[in-house]
Amino acid sequence: MLAGAVAGAAFPAVATTAASVPTATAGTVPRTSGTARAGGTTHQVTIYAEALPNGLYGYGLAPGEATVPGPILEMIEGDTMEITLVNTTDQRLSIHPHGVDYDVHSDGSPLNASATEAGQTRTYVWHTREKAPSTGRMWLPGSAGYWHYHDHALGSDHGTDGIAKGLYGALIVRRKGDVLPDRQFTVVFNDMTINNLTAPDTPIFDCRLGERVEFIAIGHGNMEHTFHLHAHRWADNRTGMLEGPNDPSPAVDNKDLNPGSSFGFQVLAGEGVGPGAWMYHCHVQFHSDPMSGIFLVRNEDGTIPDHAQEAIDYFHGHHHGGHDEHEGHGG
């Protein structure tokens, strides 16, 4: 767990409309205890699954702290995470990871009898590893990447209702020596919502000019999407940053984000373009009205440029096509 990876400085409030679901704030990281072991550290994390207003559910690090999306979980290759899931709801649910190693007892699926019944507690164990040589010239991939976790048991053996209603979050596995961000934001395209919200109630991702910002993008639901960030681009590789002048990774500012997929990247906020209220959205065109939000890059001193505040006010006063139809949608 990289608890020092995120700056937690509070910003002055910006004008927003009331969201209908508790949302994770920038810099959400688990509070853990870690014990060193050969090859890595073992982290113990307790996560509470809770019912939320409007028929939604969320994961949290303490009773009453569940959010949509859930907390960002982090490891370094070689680490192990022991997650104690406390199911405070009256429904069967679980936690299932992508991108890491686990045995059948930590799968999180009813298929392997690894769900957590209503009111019960279960511990799930996830392992990570570094890339390693295999036969011939082949190498086995390591665990490093931007992954995610989600329910696999609420409503069906595939957790269809749990995912639709907010039981998901980001999982990051880093390599030793990776550059850490100043701020982190999880953005989940879940059918026609962003983090189970529609514009203009979608998250404002808030930072200062020049900060290193990390996005973790996750796809859920039943629809194909693309993630586009205005005025910023990143290298289409594991981190979003080039490893040197000869790194051939192409630069992108729009990337497919489909159900079950995930990726992440780092950008320097406002690099070359300055502060402002920059839009992020799905670039499938008929999705772009309800599935849009603001990446707010403040001045270095934390103040909001006048033109950015005007854009925020416009965004919240503008009619977003499809908003009325999807308002309150749980997935």
Instruction: Return phi, psi of residue 87, to 5°.
Output: -90, 100
Tell me which H or E stretch contains 49. Answer: strand 40-51
Chain centre to alpha carbon of residue 10: 20
16-178 folds as Immunoglobulin-like (2.60.40)
Q: Which residues of 284-309 are buried (b: 16+ CB within 10 A; e: fewer)?
A: beebbbbbbbbbbbbeeeeebbeebe
Query: Is residue 60 within 8 Å of residue 66, measured between CB atoms?
Result: yes
Give the model's pLDDT for residue 252: 98
Give the model's pLDDT for residue 205: 98
Q: For strands 40-51 and 33-37, give the pairing.
A: antiparallel
pLDDT averaged over 10-residue windows placed end to end, the chain, 331 residues? 42 52 57 53 97 97 98 97 98 98 97 97 97 84 96 96 98 96 98 97 97 98 97 96 95 97 98 98 95 98 96 88 46 39
Report d(CA 37, CA 32) in Å as an integer.
15
Identity of residue 10: A
Strand partners, 93: 116
Burial label for 175, CB within 10 Å (0-12, 13-18, 19+), is middle
SS3 content of the chain, % helix, strand, coil (to 5): 10, 35, 50
Instruction: Kindly indicate whether the domain formed by 180-331 is annotated with CATH number 3.30.70.260.
Output: no
Give the model's pLDDT for residue 323: 43
Report d(CA 67, CA 152) in Å as an integer.
18
Contacts of 324 (CB under 8 A, 6+ apart): none
Give the model's pLDDT for residue 322: 53
Report d(CA 303, CA 312) in Å as an integer.
14
CA distances from 283 to 66, 115, 160, 279, 288 (A): 30, 36, 25, 11, 6
With CA atoms as reference, report the closest residue to 147 among 72, 224, 39, 233: 72
Give the model's pLDDT for residue 11: 60
Q: Is the dihedral of CA 184, 44, 47, 256 positive or negative?
A: positive
The length of the chain in residues reads: 331
Dihedral over alpha carbons 120, 150, 69, 328 (to 10 degrees):
-90
Same fold, 16-178 and 180-331: yes
With CA atoms as reference, report the closest residue to 263 among 221, 213, 211, 227: 227
Where exactly are the structural domains of the chain?
16-178, 180-331
Question: Structure pTM?
Answer: 0.89
